[in-house]
Structure 1
Amino acid sequence: MIDYVDRVADEILADALSRAGAVLVEGPKGCGKTETARQAAKSEVRVDVDPRVEIAMGIDPALVLDGDTPRLVDEWQVQPLLWDTARHLVDDRQEKGQFIFTGSTASGEQAARHSGAGRFARVRMRTMTLFETGDSTGTVSLQNLAAGEEIRAVESSMNISTLFERMCRGGWPTNLELTLAQAQANNRDYARTIAEVDIRTPDGAKRDPEKVMKVLRSLSRGLATEMSVATIAKDTGINWETVSDYLDSLQRIFISEDQLAWSQNLRSRTPLRKAPKRHLTDPALALAVLNVSPEALVKNLPFAGQVFESFVVHELRALTARPVYHARLEDGMEVDALVEMDDAILAVEIKLGHSKEVVDGAAANLLKFAKLLDGNVVPVVITGSGLSYQRLDGVNVVAIDALAR
């Protein structure tokens, strides 16, 4: 049995329990929601497998929630009435940290009618970051960077081969002690399970597994690009309505996750594009769907750059627990990632390489774009390897294996 590995979400969950009566922990299957919740819980009920739950629901749903608090209610969406029951119990008890609900499907109509605002805090979990798997030195904290702390120069210990292997392995906790080949086989099985089983979860509707796989392959080829529904429909030969339905279902089970476009006003007359960029929950899933190995990435560096961009967006989302946007003006000027932190906006350019020419170009673009933003902007170039340091022009250069929360 694998010992529990500390997660970024541990701290976030503890904070949520201290300020809300209940916490909803959401994320894709297998990312570690249940184990993380167990570290904070005093009792638990597994709604999807405990035969007593169905009986209790027929008598009084509150029986399912009876136990020491915080009480973990795992896969709560199998019994949606538990949402309202917990909401009422939180109101009655007037205490913090009563329940932890975990689920692999976004809240459905029942929860949408009563959002739980003021009662439920929300924690979004993702697959493990380099920092969590021990593949990052953790010398550059994104929080400290946003607060103005200067980077201590440190050389990356990760080469491109190691990075590509980690990108192919992915961050699912169950893959930690497996060989790369075993992990990739698990990732392929995960994709088939999505197509054959999980895609039906949001509403019970039957969807064609082969068409789901076609959509997943199309998303994988278009990783980190502004791929429209129409483009996916053309690429797969599936009609627009079906593609739109499949994308919605994939988002509701946290497999597909768009990177929305920055919408705040800029000091520019050139309008911002509104199209989102496409990502999967972990870039390793895209590589599994396309059957791409680390060796294949070496032979296709343009695509490797796409995958690396998606990988960095995953790391930023997980480490900051904030939305990550992208920005692109109609004239072509763009920034790969924007994150609103407490003290500043992180403006990020993502580059697989770290040569002087590559970093100089990225830094110049960031400094130009920063002039269009209101507020304190911290420019960051995240690279695949190399030295982490602060340039004389104030731009921070950070290797991916130096990042921490």
Structure 2
Amino acid sequence: MLVTGARGVGKTTTARQIAKSIAFFDDLATLTVFQDSPEAALAQFQEPLLIDEWQMGPEVVRAIKRTVDRDRRPGRFILTGSPDPLSRSEFQSLTGRAAIVRLNPMTVRERTSRVAHPHGSTAVSNLLNGTPPQSRPEHVPDIFGYLDIAAVGGFPECAAESSEAYSQTWCRDYLRVLLRRDLPLFGSRRSASHFRRYLSAAALHTARSPEDGSLRNAAQVNPGTHRDYRHILLDLDVTVEVPAFINEEIPALAKSPKMLFSDSGLLIAAMNKPLAQLKLSGDLYGRVIETFVLNQLRAEIEALDRPDALSHLRTHKGVHEIDAIIETDDGGIIAIEIKSANRHRPADIKHIEWLSQKLGDRFRLGLVLTTGAYISHVRSKVTDKIWAAPISLLWH
């Protein structure tokens, strides 16, 4: 198993909970043993064996391939680390022999210790069943409270402190180290200052398509550099991309993904604006709220073993847009709009209504998530399946 995710997200700490032995490749003595005789070294450890920072000794991957081919028992090896371009090609030799698991930053539900039993019911699992929201959350923040929660983010170091000021300092330092230590792995000619400018522009364009040209123009880079930088951010797990919703019966659907920062704390730090200033900019904090909520949904859906269930919808020229589309096990569709306002407005449901007409019986539920305090059944002349609810429903 290869556990992927951003640096500092808790890959090693999590994997240690199921490993019986550990080999740390950032320890030179251990690394030397594996470089000298990788297969013999593997045999010295109890399984499951966790190999941390495996990319520092990529030759061990070939040894694991040979070992696994001889003994196909699952769960023998766990690899954690941050693959660079050179080691990634080595890992490809394990295709068909290894599972890849992405570890996301912690959700608010995890941070506040409201994690249910694996078979228990959660707000997102209820949505996947087409169940409308039922009970109002005990605590509902206002817009500025949500922004404070988003500023903390989901990295364990920040979640433990639960302080937006501490988290923002940590995230800014994290990005500086990333530029100094990891960017050179993608080519010695990469300019840290140019990439930093691109990073800030990407933060200001989160929750948009990376292919619409506005990000490239804002970052002042040519198409080739934009393409390279976009994939570096993905490789570093700083950003993720939500695929476009596909339905052959609906014409003019755009196929471009939506780019998101993988953590809202990192996003705010990359915007390079004080939190107090961000709270006075409706357009910017709207993007932060959308990114924050989509990451809560994305992590919950992946934890339910439905990594391909989340998408976004946009028709050409943006005539119709829906922030999140979730496909249920039986092919039903849940449509979600995310709003930073404290109440829903008639215009907030028009795209959901349009989609319900297009899908017919496949449409199971429409949901408008707001910074308001109440759950309500939204009046519509088109469908009786639209509800409005507080964002905090996702973790209560």
Please, which moves more after superposition, 241-250 or 229-238?
Answer: 229-238
- Residue 353 of structure 1 is matched in structure 2 by 341
Q: CA deviation at 1:135?
A: 8.0
* Structure 2 gap ranges (5+): none
Q: Secondary structure at the match of 1:397?
A: strand
- Aligned Cα root-mean-square deviation (Å): 2.6
Q: Secondary structure at the match of 1:44?
A: strand
1:163-178 to 2 correspondence within 5 Å? Answer: 163-178=146-161
- Residue 326 of structure 1 is matched in structure 2 by 312
- Residue 245 of structure 2 is matched in structure 1 by 262
Residue-pair matches, total: 376
- Residue 279 of structure 2 is matched in structure 1 by 298
- Report the CA distance shift for 1:65/1:299 in structure 2 as closer, same or farther (over 3 A): farther
Residues of 1 paired with 2:268 and 2:113: CA distance?
A: 20
- Residue 109 of structure 1 is matched in structure 2 by 89
Q: Check if 1:372 corresponds to 2:358.
A: yes
Please, which moves more after superposition, 23-32 or 284-293?
Answer: 284-293
- Report the CA distance shift for 1:230/1:368 in structure 2 as closer, same or farther (over 3 A): closer
What code does the residue aligned with 2:126 have? Answer: N
Residues of 2 paired with 1:86 and 1:77: CA distance?
A: 13
Q: Check if 1:382 corresponds to 2:369.
A: yes
**Could you give the per-residue CA deviations for residues 308-355 of structure 1, whole angstroms, max 9, x where no partner exists?**
111111111111112432111126111111233424433211111241
- Residue 329 of structure 2 is matched in structure 1 by 342
1:31-110 to 2 correspondence within 5 Å? Answer: 31-64=9-42, 66-105=44-83, 108-110=88-90
2:198 to 215, 223, 229: 215
- Report the CA distance shift for 1:391/1:248 in structure 2 as closer, same or farther (over 3 A): same
Residues of 2 paired with 1:85 and 1:377: CA distance?
A: 49
- Residue 126 of structure 2 is matched in structure 1 by 144
Q: CA deviation at 1:29?
A: 0.6
Calculate percent identity across the aligned residue pairs. 26
Please, which moves more after superposition, 58-67 or 90-99?
Answer: 58-67
Q: CA deviation at 1:390?
A: 5.3
- Residue 250 of structure 1 is matched in structure 2 by 233
Q: Secondary structure at the match of 2:196?
A: helix
Q: Check if 1:288 corresponds to 2:269.
A: yes
Normalised by the length of structure 1, the TM-score is 0.84
Q: Secondary structure at the match of 2:260?
A: coil
Q: Is the 8 A contact 1:224 1:277 kept in 2?
A: yes
- Residue 173 of structure 2 is matched in structure 1 by 189
Q: Is the 8 A contact 2:343 2:370 kept in 1?
A: no
- Report the CA distance shift for 1:77/1:137 in structure 2 as closer, same or farther (over 3 A): closer
Normalised by the length of structure 2, the TM-score is 0.86
- Report the CA distance shift for 1:198/1:143 in structure 2 as closer, same or farther (over 3 A): same
Q: Is the 8 A contact 2:5 2:82 kept in 1?
A: yes
Q: CA deviation at 1:84?
A: 3.0
Residues of 2 paired with 1:81 and 1:137: CA distance?
A: 38
Q: Is the 8 A contact 1:136 1:401 kept in 2?
A: no
What code does the residue aligned with 1:338 have? Answer: I
